[in-house]
Amino acid sequence: MLRFLAGRFAVLIPTFLGVALVAFAFIRLLPGDPVMLMSGERVMSDERHAEIMKSLGYDKPLSIQFVDYLGDIVTGDLGNSVVTKRPILDDFFKLFPATLELSICAIFLAVFLGIPAGVLAAVRRGSWIDQSLMGTALVGYSMPIFWWGLLLIILFSGILQWTPVSGRISLMYYFPAHTGFMLIDSLLSGQPGAFKSALSHLILPTIVLCTIPLAVIARQTRSAMLEVLGEDYVRTARSKGLSPRRVIGVHALRNALIPVVTTIGLQVGVLLAGAILTETIFSWPGIGKWMVDAVFKRDYPVVQGGLLLIAGIIMIVNLAVDLLYGLINPRIRH
Amino acid sequence: MALLEIKNLTVSFDTVTGPFAAVDGVDLTVDGREILSIVGESGSGKSVSMLAVMGLLPPSATVTADVMRFDGNDMLSMTAKQKRTIIGRDIAMIFQEPMSSLNPCFTVGFQIGEMLRRHTDLDRKARRTRAIELLDAVGIPSPQQRLSAFPHQLSGGMSQRVMIAMATSCRPKLLIADEPTTALDVTIQAQILDLLRDLCADRDMALVLITHDMGVVAQMAHRVQVQYAGQRVEEQAVRELFSDPHHPYTSALLSALPERATGRGHLPSIAGMVPGQHGRPTGCLFEPRCQFATDICRRGAERQDAALGHALCNHPLVNGVATRMEVGA
Ligand SMILES: Nc1ncnc2c1ncn2[C@@H]1O[C@H](COP(=O)(O)OP(=O)(O)OP(=O)(O)O)[C@@H](O)[C@H]1O
Ligand SMILES: [Mg+2]
């Protein structure tokens, strides 16, 4: 187990280096620079522009800038935002709970709908249930997030007026953020209606964000179940006189979950990428929206630091999934 | 009264190229405490006919029979749910591939305990004790530790022992063993067969032993049913079958036995193949491979009576000589 972990960590280092390089290069490839965008409409002389760029260290050759940047990362310093001057780590951890709350809700919804849907489709293979479930999954999988989000807003917020359009909670409510999770904080605040407001703000973004993972999990569960249902041990389970429910729900599903767990782990990356768009559509104050804003302002340190932190989270989650995989697969555990 | 009685069992699979009768009008009886062997080459419908009894065939299979009675109960009129109270408890089955027949995600103890929980009132502790006894009875060393073993930690022989322990855990009246030793080493094969014979004797259990190995039949069976291409072609007590086979197919199977081979160094094998779904002969199904076949065999095969082993043959052998019978044209 220790060797396994050591091996995994050894892979992390080059991956991190790669992410750092990509993040560094990507934002500089975009036209414009932070100073130019901050000055906005005001006219700024070339001398003044060069002066500020120099004070920020952006006049040095790119290779030197990159080496300096790596040096800072090693000491754990991701720098400050060019725009707000606040430390990047502070902003990240202040905003991250909002993204985490949304992502957790989305992945839970995707798992709790996707697995039963996949099992049902596999058991009723070829029936209209299977076909409509898998047809829906295909549509969900190919849905452009932005368009899907706008569609839901138009229907539920616009026409039906059931849900709010943006934010995490109605401005009526104000309470301290104990956990950073609005659902929990609103309950803790004890203010009547606060939880309901938080929930109603969460519903649409959760649906939008869970759509692709839900479709992927449902399809993966179906194919894993179809494979497992033909196995000898499923026949053995049936030969014991067990109910179909137990044969499918215990003997088959337990084995089918092994590949599905890997899929769920891979969806975390998809989820964080989706969060960037979803948060932008719903003005959800999380790291996705923070990053998009930073890109528009060419806030180099924020984009670089944010990408690095997101990559780190994805890698940690994948590592956790690998460990979990070992736990649920006896053949690896022993 | 027979423990298991089947008349005119037909199993037809829905395939892309049309229906295919993998089992075609088979009769079969097993008495209490009897060891009946079903023999035949690959594809002769041995497994499918027994899976039909267990209700383990896929939905693409259509099962029909005139009679299917087990221990006085009419299995044809039972609902699936009623059948499940018998399956596992009174009729149990073990399979050809012991390694893949155990669920890789659950421990041996869980899988045996589950059977006991389904069919007995034993509590958790009693189930554990019983599982240890069962593992001990099938010759598994340090049974207590084995309870927490996962299937991948067991050898093929051990897995088959675990399967046997599990299948016999509710003291079934009938055990169906579908080629239980085909996948195992020769020495382990003999041990497993001994174990099965001892269990039958100790527990008054009947056994249907599916095999294509006539050596195994000679060692184990009381009575033998020979199947060919989904049909029952002969049925006799084991001694009589070996001394005087009536169907040319049985005779051919027997002469393929190593100890009966006349020439040195090579075993006679039956030329040709079992007909599958396509290219089925219109008359006797064995006719294309039969050295005694005549013109009438292309039109059909006649069922002989018990004295001639119920042979499905127009020219049943008596002491190795084909009788030329006059069949109405
Ligand atoms: N699910 C199925 N769908 C279609 N055909 C099937 C199915 N299962 C079995 N068959 C066919 O039924 C025939 C009999 O199969 P069966 O497994 O009973 O043979 P067997 O006598 O047990 O042979 P073996 O020694 O190989 O186990 C074969 O031709 C096989 O191809
Ligand atoms: Mg078979």
Distance, C-alpha B325 to centroid of its chain:
32
Q: How buried is B186 (Cβ within 10 angstroms: 0-12 exposed, 13-18 middle, 19+ buried)?
A: exposed
Residues of chain A with pLDDT under 70: 1, 41, 333-334
Q: Cβ(B49)–Cβ(B24) under 8 Å? A: no
Residue with tokens 């009246």: B173
| pLDDT, position A259 | 92
Best probe of the A interface among B101, B110, B163, by most A CBs < 10 A, is B101
Token pair in block for residue B61: 């299979």
C-alpha A25: how far from chain center: 23
**Are A242 and B84 a contacting pair at CB < 8 A?**
yes
Burial of A242 (0-12, 13-18, 19+ CB in 10 A): buried
CB atoms within 10 A of CB A57: 12
Question: Helix axis angle, A88-123 relative to A300-328, nearest 10°?
Answer: 40
Query: Phi/psi at A59 (nearest 5 deg)?
Result: -90, -15
Structure tokens at A41: 């409409």
From residue A169, give the alpha-carbon distance in Å to each of A140, A149, A155, A201, B38.
Answer: 27, 18, 20, 6, 73
Q: What is the pLDDT of residue B301?
A: 86
Nearest partner of B11 among B40, B42, B70, B54, judged by Cα: B54
Checking DSSP bridges between strand B67-70 and strand B91-94, what pairing results, if any? unpaired
Dihedral sign for Cα atoms in the order B180, B182, B183, B186: positive
Task: Find the Cα–Cα–Cα–Cα dihedral B192, B194, B200, B202, rounded to 10°.
Answer: -120
| Torsion angle defined by CA atoms of residues B265, B268, B272 and B274, in that order, rounded to the nearest 10 degrees | -120
Minimal-distance CA residue to ligand 1 atom 22: B47
pLDDT digits 0-9 by tens, B224-267: 999 999 999 999 999 999 999 999 999 988 887 777 655 555 55
From the CB of B18, is ligand 1 less than 6 Å away?
no
Give the tokens for residue B47.
Answer: 């497994």
Give me the mean pLDDT over the B275-302 stretch. Answer: 85
Chain A residues at the B interface, defined by Cβ less than 8 Å, are 231-233, 235-243, 251, 254-255, 258, 328-331, 334
Ion ligand 2: residues, CB within 5 A, are B 47
Q: Is B229 in the pocket of ligand 1 (CB under 6 A)?
A: no
Between B49 and B315, where is the model more confident? B49
For chain A, state the CA radius of gyration.
Answer: 24
Contacts of A302 (CB under 8 A, 6+ apart): A81, A82, A83, A88, A91, A290, A291, A294
pLDDT reported for residue B97: 92
Contact B84 A232 (CB under 8 A): no
Q: Do β-strands B67-70 and B61-64 pair in parallel, antiparallel, or remain unpaired?
A: unpaired
- What are the boundaries of each domain within chain B? 244-260+279-328
- C-alpha B322/C-alpha B311 separation (Å) is 12
In chain A, where are the structural domains located? Answer: 35-77, 88-332
Which residue has better confidence, B326 or B244? B244
As its CATH architecture, domain A88-332 has: Orthogonal Bundle (1.10)
Q: Name the residue of chain B whose CA is nearest to A124's CA.
A: B59
CA A95 – CA A106 distance, rounded (Å): 17
pLDDT of B329: 38
Using DSSP's 3-state secondary structure scheme, residue B168 falls into: coil
CB A196 within 8 A of CB A224: no
Are the beta carbons of B179 and B220 closer than 8 angstroms? no
Q: Determine the Cα–Cα distance for residues A182 and B170; give it in Å rounded to an integer.
A: 55
Supply the pLDDT for residue B138: 94
Is B46 close to ligand 1, i.e. is its CB under 6 Å away?
yes
What phi and psi values does residue A139 have, to the nearest 5 degrees? -60, -45
Q: What 3-state class would DSSP assign to B32?
A: coil
Relative to beta strand B174-178, strand B91-94 is parallel
Nearest Cα neighbor of A81 from A244, A270, A290 is A290
Q: What ipTM was assigned to the predicted interfaces of this complex?
A: 0.90
CA dihedral in degrees (A242, A243, A246, A252; nearest 10)? 80
A73-76 contact pairs (CB < 8 A, 24+): A73/A20, A73/A308
Q: Is B42 near ligand 1, meaning CB less than 6 Å away?
A: yes
pLDDT at residue B260, as a whole number: 67
Instruction: Read off the amino acid at residue A190.
Output: G
Backbone angles phi, psi at B87, to 5 degrees: -65, 130
What is the pLDDT at residue B268? 60
Q: What are phi and psi of A275, to 5 degrees?
A: -60, -35
What confidence tens digit (pLDDT) does each residue in B25-39 have? Answer: 999 999 999 999 999
Q: Read off φ and ψ for residue B16, nearest 5 degrees.
A: -60, -25
- In degrees and rounded to multiples of 5, residue A168 shows phi and psi of -105, -25
Tokens 């104990």 correspond to: A178
Q: Considering every ligand atom, which ligand is closest to the CA of B93?
A: 2
Query: Which is nearest to B160 in space by CA: B204, B203, B194, B132?
Result: B194
Question: Could you tell me which residues come within 8 angstroms of residue A250 by beta carbon, excluding any fewer than 6 positions away?
Answer: A237
**How many residues are given for chain A?**
334
* Count of Cβ atoms closer than 10 Å to residue B82 Cβ: 12
| Nearest Cα to Cα of residue B182 among B214, B213, B218 | B213
In angstroms, rounded to a whole number, what is the distance separating the alpha carbons of residues B16 and B208?
32
Q: Whats the size of chain B, residue-wise?
A: 329
CB contact under 8 Å between A241 and B84, yes or no, is yes
Cα three-residue angle A208-A210-A214, rounded to 5 degrees:
130
Burial of A36 per CB tally in 10 Å (0-12, 13-18, 19+): middle
Q: Which of A124, A234, A239 to mutate to test the interface with B (most CBs of B within 10 A)?
A: A239
Residues B3-7 have a mean pLDDT of: 96
Mapped onto helix, strand or coil, the DSSP state of residue B211 is strand
The pLDDT of B94-117, averaged and rounded, is 95
Token pair 């221990």 is at which residue? B71
Tell me: the pLDDT tens digits for B50-97?
999 999 999 899 999 999 999 999 999 999 999 999 999 999 999 999
Give the CA distances from residue A268 to residues A222, A303, A322, in Å, rounded to whole numbers and listed in that order.
20, 20, 13
For tokens 């899988």, name the residue: B111
pLDDT for the residue numbered B141: 93
pLDDT at A62: 84
